[in-house]
Structure 1
Amino acid sequence: MSTHDALLNIQGLTVSYGGIQAVKGISLQVHTSELVCLIGSNGAGKTTTLKAIAGLLPFSANACTYKQTHHLGHMQAHQRLQAGISLVPEGRGVFARMSIEENLEMGAYCRKDNADILLDLEKIYDTFPRLKERRKQSAGTLSGGEQQMLAIGRALMGRPELLLLDEPSMGLAPLMVEKIYEVVEQVSKTGVTILLVEQNAHIALQIADRAYVMDSGSIELDGNAAELMSDPRVRQAYLGEESISANDVNASA
């Protein structure tokens, strides 16, 4: 795929905390309607990368463009939201003292189309019936899974073209993870482009079109998600499977 027609094109992205480079000159692309995942162990630099794209951390890059014409290094975080980039942060980040409905309305604060906002609100409630049942309840009283539903719903209220999802399965029970990823797949099928950061490599690679494997601030592997799932290096490092060589077999014979 060409880098020139990518919805998101990053070349040589570097992010530093003081004198420490957390992201070391990575390059990645996400094309329109793709679901691309960024996997890797804890501390690999995945969340830092998403925060830089969303405008929450300063960065340097040879190129960091959105829709070919928006240079993200020149845009504030709220301008990126207005341009169609929404972030579901690690840890959900809901407004705990506000109601569920107020949280969702905050997701649409850049929009002026009030009638369509109400329609989108009902779509979120149709997707997440639990939120509708608790619409006047304070967000801080929700379970972790319900808060994740709310965080995704809030991001979708901005009608993003590019949705950044940071560790949506973190801390959730298996059944709730399954529900969240059903929704992620549904959103992807509507044409929303998704860049997903996930430590659970197995579930991420199952639904992604392409994937990047990140380690110690660098991209180590990239390619078709299904192919990476069968790569012995990925299976051993991220899917919890032992790699058995011919020498191992002979030694045990």
Structure 2
Amino acid sequence: MSDNILKIDGLQVAYGGIKAVKGIDLEVNRGELVTLIGANGAGKTTTLKAITGTLPPCKVAGTISYQGQPLASNKSFKLVQQKLAMVPEGRGVFTRMTIHENLLMGAYTRNDKAGIEADIDGWYAVFPRLKERSAQLAGTLSGGEQQMLAMARALMCHPTLLLLDEPSMGLAPIMVEKIFEVIRDVSQRGITVLLVEQNARLALQAAHRAYVMESGLITMSGDARAMLDDPRVQAAYLGE
């Protein structure tokens, strides 16, 4: 049995005459934390949306397999039942629901009531600020608190694969530090993670392997820590 959790072969995405993704190959193996870094507009978020079937109308070619099965025919809302969860760019919390209700929504595919409540208590322990505000509407939270909630909600389904799209975007440095601490912890728990992130240094420090995306193409791939010392990566993404 293959260790591939996610395998992308020749993915192309075009909006009219504009090619956002130009034929990329990418794979994430069981237990890995893999990061996809690159500048704004490189095609990173488009790649994640292609995986989850949440792209606007466009032309898509290539194959995407999850645990050996093609994803193309699946509706995006069914992915959580298959233990594939995504924390989207912009967090996507249910603003008119409380924190507690958001977490319950993350577990909607489950029916083990005691286990769900135990998991909620577990994430409240990781994010004490959420526990303090559990009855507060999610739309009234700060950006960092919403990011905590979005991550905890996604993890409530016990995902096999967790997709994270720009989790540090717009957050204060102390909050970024907390979010990456949790990302590393999630990886250590054995959850497979694909992380799209503009903060290349933090992403490479946390990840096992990395891909660099430029103008819709994968231009580099390899060991994440080694990329920290690569002059091309330093010049383009690390400000060195």
Q: Is the TM value for this pair above 0.5?
A: yes
Match of 1:232 in 2: 231
Q: Does the 8 A contact of 1:13 with 1:59 survive in 2?
A: no
> TM-score, normalised to structure 1's length?
0.91
- The yes-or-no answer on 1:173 pairing with 2:181 is no
Partner of 1:32: 30
**How many angstroms does 1:60 deviate by?**
3.3
- 1:18 CA drift (Å): 2.5
Which letter maps to 2:54?
A: L
Specify the alignment match of 2:108 in structure 1. Answer: 109
Let me know the Cα RMSD of the aligned residues.
1.3
Alpha-carbon distance in structure 2 between the residues aligned to 1:35 and 1:220:
19
1:221 shift after superposition: 0.3
Q: Output one character per residue of 1:198-228: Cα deviation in whole Å (capped at 9) or x when no partner.
A: 0000000001000000000110000000111
Give the secondary structure class of the aligned counterpart of 1:74. Answer: coil
**Stretches (4+) displaced over 4 A:** none
Q: 2:99 maps to what in 1?
A: 100
CA distance in 1, matches of 2:105, 2:166: 21
Q: Which amino acid aligns with 1:12?
A: G
1:169-204 CA deviation, whole Å, 9 max, x = no partner? 100111110011001111100000000000000000
User: In structure 2, what residue type is equivalent to 1:65?
Assistant: S
Structure 1, unmatched stretches of 5+, are 242-253
Distance 1:213 1:116, change over 3 A: same
Asked whether 1:20 is paired with 2:9, we answer no
Amino acid in structure 1 at the alignment position of 2:48: L
Q: Secondary structure in 2 aligned to 1:38?
A: strand
Q: Indicate conservation of the 8 Å contact 1:52/1:59, yes or no.
A: no
**1:199 aligned onto 2:211:** no
The alignment partner of 1:195 has SS state of strand
Structure 2 length normalisation: TM-score?
0.96
CA shift for structure 1 position 51:
1.1
| Aligned-partner SS, 2:108 | coil
For 1:128, the equivalent position in structure 2 comes to 127
**Displacement, 1:41?**
0.2
The one-letter code matched in structure 1 to 2:103 is: L
Moved more, 119-128 or 13-22: 13-22
Letter in 1 for 2:136: Q
Supply the distance in 2 between the matched residues of 1:116 and 1:5 (Cα, whole angstroms).
28
Q: Which runs of 5+ in 2 are unaligned?
A: none
How many residues align? The count is 238
Aligned residue number for residue 65 of structure 2: 65
* Whole-angstrom CA distance in 2 between matches of 1:61 and 1:30: 19
- Once the two structures are superposed, residues 111-163 of structure 1 have per-residue CA deviations (whole angstroms, 9 ceiling, x without a partner) of 22222111111111111110000000011111111010000011001110100
